[in-house]
Amino acid sequence: MTERVLILDFGSQYTQLIARRLRELRVYCEIHPCTWAESAIRAFAPRAVVLSGGPASAFEEASPKLPPVVLELGVPVLGICYGEQALCAALGGRVEPGAVREFGRAEIELVRESPLFDGILRVGERATVWMSHGDKVTALPPGFHAVAASPASPFAAIADEARKLYGVQFHPEVAHTPIGKDLLANFCFRIARLSGDWSMAAFRSQAVAAIRARVGRGRVILGLSGGVDSAVAALLLHEAIGERLTCVFVDTGLLRLGEAREVVELFRGHFNVPLTVVEAGPRFLAALEGVVDPEEKRKRIGKLFVDIFEEEAQKLGPVDFLAQGTLYPDVIESVSFRGPSVTIKSHHNVGGLPERMRLALVEPLRELFKDEVRELGREMGLPEAFVGRHPFPGPGLAVRILGEVTAERVALLQRADAIFLEEIRAAGLYERIWQAFAVLLPVRSVGVMGDQRTYESACVLRAVTSEDGMTADVFPFEPAFLARVANRIVNEVRGINRVSYDVTSKPPGTIEWE
């Protein structure tokens, strides 16, 4: 991999978006903290460097500084927001608190031609951008000139064309800057002269070679959950090492209707991947008996999953590696300049493996974002219905059943959820929705159906849209659609007599949705 862009993280909430935008341009990039060692930066050998934004003030003594090695590399540099200010501060410019802060949309005007804006703006033309800063550059370093200005920022974009050093005060990586992707493309292709050859086909061959080099003649075990991450990891590993991979699929009894059968048929029947299936539904229900707290449910499910996984690993005999579907956002969080998260996101996974298993890790997807994993899945022949499947929580339906989990309540929720998803697909809406599911409430509702009074369960339907799974908004179904779904659930699922739709834009903490 010869074309690599280094993104130095100064703590911005948008840093991950920079990487996503560059990957969308087929440019391979990695995020590393601005404190990354000089030797590591040189070894990375980037073809260009992007400096992220950040919350600090560049004029303060304790603020993070631009590593001198970045300027010694002689490659193009683009500073974004704080990145521009850090670049100026390092080269003799001046950064001061702004008399007027700029947060939100602003308008810039191009005041001088630059390759950064080729094909985007001409001198005198304006564009809307997204600003998020209180400080600003008030004096440019030697060799720089202004390229664009806003009412509050005379140096909204700057350049030293001779050294290919650029800075923008706004955020081109966010969707609120319509010209942002074109600007990043100019930096990559016109200025850094990259070819944009990053592809899933290339990644596939490189990943297979890397797996073979790491595993050697060793054996690998992988927990196959039925989600797209573990599925793609399984296919990649199987291509690399064949029968020396064993996948363990634990049917917790808490999956969506028919999902266990689909996973087994696809991986054992179609792809011929070595697969051990553990029917453990009764064990999980027993572990959850009387438990109503969602976090306690997660902990119990996680512990039992680990116990079962360890039991199966011992049956296999000597195993050298554990494979995991770790994705790049998890890696980014662990190396962020602001430090790893102090909150364990227990809803993401069902638990870690005990140290006594002493297995080395293989993480073949750790360089990929979720959308890239889906693309790789398509590259490897996974059916679209599987690749595009909505995310499903590790603890399964247990955290979508509010209150106690019983076999009867699991069956109710499975049928209601299946009807909801079936109608969404029939309406052609599935791909427009990030995640949709039914939730069984811990209440019963009195109703009259025909000539009989009923006292049955109530359920809630939820559907959200999202670009990255970090924020979500309600999906605006037509009333006729919701009426049709509710009518089917009440008529076809004996035990539910009331259905409502959740219209909140942020998911409640008690309902698992990611």
Active site residue 81: yes
Q: Are 169 and 162 in contact (CB under 8 A)?
A: no
Active-site choice (3, 84, 102, 173): 173
Catalytic residue among 29, 32, 34, 81: 81
Q: From the candidates 29, 84, 102, 171, give the one annotated as an active-site residue.
A: 171
In this structure, what are the phi and psi dihedrals at residue 73, rounded to the nearest 5 degrees? -70, -25
Residue 68 burial by Cβ neighbours in a 10 Å radius (0-12, 13-18, 19+): exposed
Please give the C-alpha separations between residue 245 and each of 201, 231, 276, 381, in angstroms, as whole numbers.
Answer: 22, 13, 11, 19
Tokens of 313: 């690993």
Gap between the Cα atoms of 120 and 177, Å rounded: 12
Task: List the one residue out of 201, 101, 110 whose CA is nearest residue 153.
Answer: 101
**Do the strands 452-465 and 473-474 form a parallel or antiparallel pair, or are they unpaired?**
antiparallel
Distance CA 262, CA 268 (A): 10
Work out the widest C-alpha separation in the chain, in whole angstroms: 87
Q: How far apart are CA 306 and CA 310, in angstroms?
A: 6
Task: Compute the half-sphere exposure of residue 67: CA atoms within 13 Å on the CB side of its CA.
Answer: 23
Pull the structure tokens for residue 154: 């005379």
Distance CA(16)–CA(13), nearest Å, equals 8
Nearest to 364 by CA among 248, 235, 465, 276: 235
Phi/psi at 452 (5° precision): -120, 145
Neighbours of 107 (CB within 10 A): 13
Q: How many residues belong to the chain?
A: 514
- Cβ neighbours around 359 below 10 Å, total: 18
CA–CA gap between residue 229 and residue 232 (Å, rounded): 5
Q: Any idea which residues carry the catalytic annotation? A: 81, 171, 173
